[in-house]
Structure 1
Amino acid sequence: MEGQRLGGRYQLEARVGGGGMAIVYRAKDLVLNRPVAVKVLRSQFGTDEDFVTRFRREAQAVASLSHPNVVGVYDVGQDGDTHYMVMEYVEGYTLKELINRNGAIPVEDAVEIAAEICDALDHAHANQIIHRDIKPHNILIGKNGRIKVTDFGIARAVTSTTITHTNSVLGSVHYFSPEQARGGITAEKSDIYSLGIVLYEMVTGKLPFSGESPISVALKHLQEPLPEPRQVNPAIPQSVENIILKALVKDPTLRYGSAREMLDDLETCLLPERLNEEKIQFPVDDEATKAYPVITQEMLEGQGRTGTPSRQETEEEKAKRPWWMKTALWTGAVGLFFVLAFLGFNLVMELFPSVPEVDVPLVQGSERTVAEQAIRAAKLVPHVVEEASDTVEKGMVISQDPSPPMKLKENAVVTLYVSTGQEAIKMPNLVGTVRTVAENELKSKGFKITDKTFTEKESDDVPAGEVINQFPPADQEVVPGKTEVLVEVSKGKAQVTMPDVRGDTLEQARIKLFKEGLLIDETAIKAEPSYLYGEPNRVIHTLPYDPGMKVEKGTAIPVTVSNGQYPADAKITSTPVYVEVYPGEGEIPVKITVSDARGDNQVVVDEKITESRTFDIPIVLSPKKKATIKVIRAGVELSNEEISYDSIMY
């Protein structure tokens, strides 16, 4: 059903789990734009009106629950023949997966988890909701460590309907309470018993009762004494064992009176003064080992039809019988009892022969065929269930049920959950989104982000930061974990280096800028006096764009040019410089430089002379810049005269 939309609102994206009654999908709520989990009833139950009615009623009741440890139910609906329930999506793993992976959990962690489950049950029971299927598979552990109890409502709907219609009991037999196994009425104390089994499994790493068939396990819940947890794991404090023993006592009247009472015990059991408390004791119940059948309507009706003889009829029959007939009847009855007992014993021995127990091998993480061979080699029967997985390679065992250190009878079934790999999805459309949105979208779909995923590219049309192109293209079928994604992100327009046009004429500057892909901002040309350039239309500066900086291609550059005048505070003058040539020297090279307000080391004279000569050297002074005149004759510096601003008078 991946890709299907339910109720015009919930887009199914990928299957994340399933059981005998329903399949769970990760989906997107298109109205509220959030991830949700959608539980879809299997088609064979959708035609049972009684079941559907109960399912909807119970689901709506559970939707009224509001507790941090309960997976919230948002909506219940029907799309054609498909009945579904919309729930909170919890990203993480199940408690069963944690136990399978790590074995026994540290007692402190197990008690904390049990307390959160118990708190959720207390809230549900206060709202007249019985879970009836508490097991590690229905306990979710989010990435933030929050414990969430799921499958409220559907468990009650399944149990109610199947008992009414088939007089049988469905569910997880390893976590059954004795009253559930007997097919009787279940209430809050059945949830407490199931939670006790979960706590037992957490602190020991194994289940208290196992067998080669569901019936044999159910009988053990009814008849066999509980293997004490401290015999399996001596590190368990006596206070914690006492909680388990009280939750798992077969007589419901001896169990905790409520989930709140058990929660109070869990919250204090690890206090130092309680760790070594006395072991809890219960009254011996001689009736505990007896198995009682369910009282059915047929039995009641049969009793009515048969009737009970009156006292008068009985006395008349007794008076008519001779004494020897009584003796014969008693003798025959006793003999028949022993014969039937003998035959019954032999029949039971034939039906239930002694079968040795074997250790369940650990095959989680193995390749499918290797795992199946290992299970068969242990004289067990593998049963494969295929599931999609974002993290486990195709053909590898994701998990197994049961797992070590459990023992099973020979030829018992071990379920192997084998990965089919990641499911193919449609490639999301990233073009036009900004980089952060594109990256989050890829991560949410399970794609791997590397240094090569995003590359930057110049674009004259797409704003900086937006996605220009992607590979694979949008809507192409891809497997996220095996697909390399390449995304081009716009850097904006091309960057060019700002040329130095200072001192150029306006036309020269226009040509230089054009060659680099830049323009002069004709509306921002300004003319002002300048010490540097006495000639008009010489570029003084291009602020804020300095020479050498990176500028977007096509930018219009503001230009400030000289107006051919010096500033009002400039002092313009000249000074004579005499250079002497001695007889017989011939040509003498002369170089005169001026440093003043117009710039440094301006060459004003560079020629050869054959006779002594006086040069008139122009200078421009500003309040902040004095003038320096250097005279170099035949490579030798003759003078270095300084002229200050204050020494010149108008």
Structure 2
Amino acid sequence: MIGHELGGRYEIISRIGGGGMALVYKAHDVLLNRKVAVKVLRQQFVHDEEFIRRFRREAQSAASLSHPNVVSIYDVGQEDDVHFIVMEYVEGSNLNEIIHERAPLQPEEAVHIAAQICDALVSAHQNQIIHRDIKPHNILIGKNGRVKVTDFGIARAVTASTITQTGSVVGSVHYFSPEHAKGTSTGEKSDLYSLGIVLYQMLTGKLPFHGESPISVALKHLQETFVEPRVINSLIPQSVENVILRAMRKNPAERYASASDMLRDLETSLLPERLHEPKAVFTAIADDLDETRVMPAIRPTSAAGRQADIRPAASQDRTAAAASINGTGPVEWEDDKKRKAWWKRPVTVVIATLVIIAGLYFAVRAVTNSLDVPEVTVPYVINETEADAIKMLEEAGLVVEDPIEREYSDEVAEGYVYNQSKAKLKVKKGASIKLYVSLGSELSTMTSYVGQPIANAKEDLAALGVDDIRITTTQEFSDQEPGTILSQTPEANAQFDPKTETVHFTVSKGQETVVMPKLVTKKEAEAKVLLSQLGLVLKEANIVREASYEPEGTVIAQFPYQEGEEVGKGAEVSITVSSGLPKDAIEKKLNLQISPAQAGTTSEIKITYSDASGENKEWGTRKIKDTQRFTVKVIVAPNKDATVTVIRDNQFVNTFTVTYEDEQAPADQTIPGQGQQPTDQQPSEPATGTAGSDDATASTNDPQTTDNGPSNDGNEETQPNDH
């Protein structure tokens, strides 16, 4: 039952008690968020329709009670074969435990408790509800001292067939009223008798009647008197003893007329003027046929007998006269003989009967002695292992009742005894003892939480009783949403103990991310290697090729992630790669023959250009000692001409233009130094002209040329044009 949600509302937490008729559990009302007590009927009664019907009817009747000293009944229900009553949960102890721990109680405390019980009975009796099972076990004392009476109306559901089956009814025989013990109709005064016994036990620590069996105790309620409380405990005030004496009268007519009368007497019993009042005296009521009395023997009646009882006065005189004259005893007259004859036969019968009874008595005594079974004390085996408990009981000459009751328990380890019958009592050797063995904590079945958020799993496990400290997690990258469970231990459908098991989850922290690199201007092969190293995916279908002024194979765009963005590992990337120049673009070469500024000296030459591929692009820088030829490649388009600029020793020299319309290759251009003459016509100052015009001509001083860029003097490195 532990962990089960009864009726879809009451979550069973732990077992807190039980008797022969029902088990009581602490539960949580999930609808109203409060603690309740749930009494569950034992399985052996679930098929007794009459019992179930009366059980439910009386429980529903008791639910109508609303009193501060009565445990409230909230609900009555059934789930399959489980019949249950939901009632108020009282945090504290029952009166039976308090009596065993501290009895005898102080008169003030005992009277205070009894008055609250009596107040509850006043309310019940006004609602025509008779408890019928007032005993310390059914009296709860809260931590605030409030007394609560429980099990109202439940005792009425006990039928004759259950008296020998349930330990609760047998245990209650010490608190039965005489009319209850006889099996006759019981009323309100029966509850007052039971309350008197409870008060007696609180003040003395003892029960008024003991016996070897429930029957013998019941007979003592009917026939015997009890030891008065003040004989056992002289500290009990006479006024309080008078309350007990009146409540425990065997004749209901001699008890209090109502619970209200008894309550008033209790409330005033400790007043100073009443403490030493006279002891209560009760006069036997003539029509009390249950009272034990000596009855006269029934004698035979006849005319002769009646005549024999009447002795004439004359015969008396004659007897006296004869005695005086003769000096002897009385003379027996004829009338005397007749008078003596009537008693001879009854006396003979009585003597014969007494002889027979005596013979039977001694015969039965002899047989009883031969069959007398010795008594043994039942060992206390609670908290022992099942094997040790059985061994201890068998060594004491007792028999373990079969089957052994086994139930789940959060407090007692598996295989240990948590309850037993007749503990520490004296019983006949060979008697059977009932054992209750723990199955340990009730196991739960692990649910599969893979794919669910970790918050949901923690909430479910907390409801089962798994502390948050025993739920551990590790995180790893995955393509699942962050916080999603990837794996778990224990696995799904495994059995586990929510009170002790540690549950571990592997949780996704999302995809692993990398920083997107710059791919633009890189070669296609280089971009592929870089993406692969970072765990990013570049599919062939995601490579777009289009014409551009960038060199063929150069990445000119990347998508959808730009440089510096966080990208999840495994993400797909697209790039655009240059497939070469547009169809209407033309690549042209411009040859330049450049001399040092001064013959025989070294000059630094710097060449830049602007064309269809971009503006102010550097072709390169070189140092020369003599005239050299440089070839500069440029791209021209219908709407874009190219310009080439030469700077020597950080001084602007000239700018040359290459047009798209020129079908011929541009003519070589010459830039002479000082002291050098151009081959044809050379201006004395650097001039700006159009490549192919006659404004500037090339030098013929043994030039050295290259198609890829300027030649150096044998010591400098050549840097090629970007195209």
Q: TM-score, normalised by structure 1?
A: 0.54
- Once the two structures are TM-superposed, the CA of residue 366 in structure 1 deviates from its matched residue by 7.9
Which residue of the partner structure matches residue 45 of structure 1?
45
Letter of the 2:250 counterpart: K
Counterpart position of 1:338: 354
CA distance in 2, matches of 1:431, 1:99: 53
Aligned to 2:158, the other structure's residue is in SS state helix
Q: Which amino acid aligns with 2:78?
A: Q
- Give 1:475-490 correspondences, 5 Å limit: 483=500
Shift of the 33–348 alpha-carbon distance from structure 1 to 2, 3 Å rule, reads: farther
Residue identity opposite 1:135 in structure 2 = K
Quickly say closer, same or farther: Cα 1:379–1:277, change in 2 above 3 A: farther
For residues 161-211 of structure 1, the C-alpha deviation after alignment (integer angstroms, 9 at most, x for no partner) is: 769x9xxx8662122112111222111121112222222222222322222
Q: What is the CA-CA distance between 1:265 and the residue it aligns to?
A: 2.3
The answer for the alignment partner of 2:214 in structure 1 is 214
Unaligned runs of 5+ in 1: 292-314, 316-325, 464-468, 489-650
SS in 1 for 2:225: coil
Instruction: Give a deviation string over 1:481-529, Cα, whole Å, max 9, x none.
Output: 6x377999xxxxxxxxxxxxxxxxxxxxxxxxxxxxxxxxxxxxxxxxx
**Distance in 2 of aligned mates of 1:462 and 1:228:** 80
Deviation at 1:70, TM superposition (A): 1.6
Which one-letter code corresponds to 2:83 in the other structure? H
Per the alignment, residue 109 of structure 2 pairs with 109
CA contact (8 A) 1:197 1:207 kept: yes
Which residue does 1:281 correspond to in 2?
A: 281
CA separation of 1:146 and 1:137: change in aligned 2, threshold 3 A: same
Q: Distance in 2 between matches of 1:376 and 1:232?
A: 38
Report the AA paired with residue 278 of structure 2: E
1: distance between equivalents of 2:143 and 2:431? 35
Please show how residues 466-545 of structure 1 align to structure 2 within 5 Å: 483=500
How far the C-alpha of 1:226 sits from its partner, in A, is 0.9
Shift of the 65–408 alpha-carbon distance from structure 1 to 2, 3 Å rule, reads same
- Residue 68 of structure 1 corresponds to which residue in structure 2? 68
Distance 2:387 2:4 in 1: 33
Q: How far apart are residue 63 of structure 1 and its match? A: 1.2
Deviation at 1:221, TM superposition (A): 1.8
The one-letter code of the counterpart of 1:104 is A
SS at match of 2:115: helix
Structure 1 letter corresponding to 2:105: P
Cα deviation, residue 104, structure 1: 0.6
SS of equivalent to 2:249: coil
The AA in structure 2 aligned to 1:16 is I
Look up the match of 1:179: 179
CA contact (8 A) 2:443 2:495 kept: yes
Alpha-carbon RMSD: 5.4
In the TM superposition, what are the counterparts of 1:86-485 in structure 2 within 5 Å? 86-100=86-100, 102-107=101-106, 108-159=108-159, 172-283=172-283, 290=292, 334=350, 337-338=353-354, 341-342=357-358, 345-346=361-362, 349=365, 423-424=442-443, 483=500
Deviations 1:24-70 (A, max 9, x none): 33334444343333323333333333222222221221111111222
Write the distance in 2 (CA, Å) between the matches of 1:27 and 1:454: 24
Q: Which consecutive unaligned segments of at least 5 residues does structure 2 have? A: 294-301, 303-341, 506-723
Aligned pairs (5 A) from 1:472-621: 483=500
Query: What amino acid is aligned across from residue 237 of structure 1 in structure 2?
Result: P
Q: Would the alpha carbon gap of residues 43 and 455 (structure 1) be closer, same or farther in structure 2, given more than 3 Å must change?
A: closer
Q: Does 1:56 align with 2:56?
A: yes
Corresponding letter in the other structure for 2:354: F
Letter in 1 for 2:201: E
- Pick closer, same or farther for the CA change 1:7–1:371 going to 2, 3 Å: closer
Q: 1:282 to 1:29 in 2, by over 3 A?
A: same
Separation of aligned partners in 1, 2:446 and 2:145: 31
**1:34 corresponds to which residue?**
34
Is the contact made by 1:17 and 1:387 (CA closer than 8 Å) also made in structure 2?
no
Change (3 A) 1:416 1:132: farther
In structure 2, do the counterparts of structure 1 residues 402 and 31 end up closer, same or farther at CA, with 3 Å as the change threshold?
same
Residues 251/395 of structure 1: CA separation in 2 closer, same or farther (3 Å cut) = farther
Distance 2:488 2:274 in 1: 63
8 Å CA contact 2:14–2:410 kept in 1: the answer is no
SS of 1:24's partner is strand
Distance 1:225 1:377, change over 3 A: farther
Change (3 A) 1:11 1:392: closer
Partners in 1 of 2:91 and 2:412 — Cα distance?
16
In structure 2, what is the Cα distance between the partners aligned to 1:273 and 1:386? 57
Structure 1 residues 392, 374: CA separation in 2 closer, same or farther (over 3 Å shift)?
A: same
Higher radius of gyration, 1 or 2? 2
Q: Which amino acid aligns with 1:57?
A: R
How many angstroms does 1:337 deviate by? 4.4
Answer yes or no: is 1:21 the counterpart of 2:21: yes
* In 1: Cα distance, 2:26 partner to 2:289 partner: 48
User: 8 Å contact 2:99–2:105 — kept in the other structure?
Assistant: no
Rounded to whole Å, the distance in 2 between the matches of 1:154 and 1:269 is 31
Structure 1 pair 8–220 and aligned structure 2 pair: CA distance change class (3 A): same
For residues 216 and 359 of structure 1, what CA distance do their matches in structure 2 show? 20
Q: What is the SS of the residue equivalent to 1:263?
A: helix
Once residues 412 and 270 of structure 1 are traced to their aligned partners in structure 2, the CA distance between those partners, rounded to angstroms, is 46
Which piece of structure 1 moves more, 75-84 or 242-251?
A: 75-84
1:333 shift after superposition:
6.0
Count residues with an aligned counterpart.
Answer: 451
Q: Which moved more, 1:363-372 or 1:58-67?
A: 363-372
Aligned equivalents of 1:424 and 1:236: distance in 2?
Answer: 53
Alpha-carbon separation, structure 2, partners of 1:361 and 1:264: 45
Amino acid at match of 1:85: I
SS at match of 1:66: coil
The answer to whether the Cα contact below 8 Å between 1:211 and 1:408 also exists between their aligned partners in 2 is: no
CA–CA separation in structure 2 for the residues paired with 1:42 and 1:245: 38
Query: SS in structure 1 opposite 2:83?
Result: strand
Indicate the structure whose relative CO is greater, using CA pairs within 8 Å and at least 6 residues apart.
1
- Residue pair 2:203, 2:233 contacting (<8 A) in 1 also: yes
Deviations 1:420-462 (A, max 9, x none): 665556799999779x9999979xx6x8x89x77999999x99
How far apart in 2 are the matches of 1:209 and 1:191?
17
**Paired residue secondary structure (1:172):** helix
Distance change in 2, residues 1:382/1:141 (3 Å): farther
Instruction: Report SS of the residue matched to 2:69.
Output: coil
Conserved in 2, the CA contact under 8 Å of 1:210 and 1:407?
A: no
Q: CA deviation at 1:262?
A: 1.9
Alignment partners' CA distance in 1, 2:495 and 2:144: 32
Query: How much has 1:127 moved relative to structure 2?
Result: 0.8
- TM-score if structure 2 supplies the norm length? 0.49
Identify which range, 65-74 or 26-35, moves more after superposition.
26-35
Aligned equivalents of 1:472, 1:236: Cα separation in 2 = 63
Partner SS, residue 74 of structure 2:
strand
Whether the 8 Å contact between 1:133 and 1:171 is mirrored in structure 2 is no
SS of equivalent to 2:67: coil
Amino acid at match of 1:236: I
Residue 275 of structure 1 deviates from its aligned partner by 3.1
Q: Distance in 1 between matches of 2:180 and 2:259?
A: 18
Distance in 1 (alpha carbons) for counterparts of 2:362 and 2:219: 19
Q: What is the letter of the counterpart of residue 98 of structure 2?
A: L
CA distance in structure 2 between the partners assigned to 1:229 and 1:380 by the alignment:
36
Cα deviations by residue, 1:375-401 (Å, 9 ceiling, x for unpaired): 999999998977766556677777888
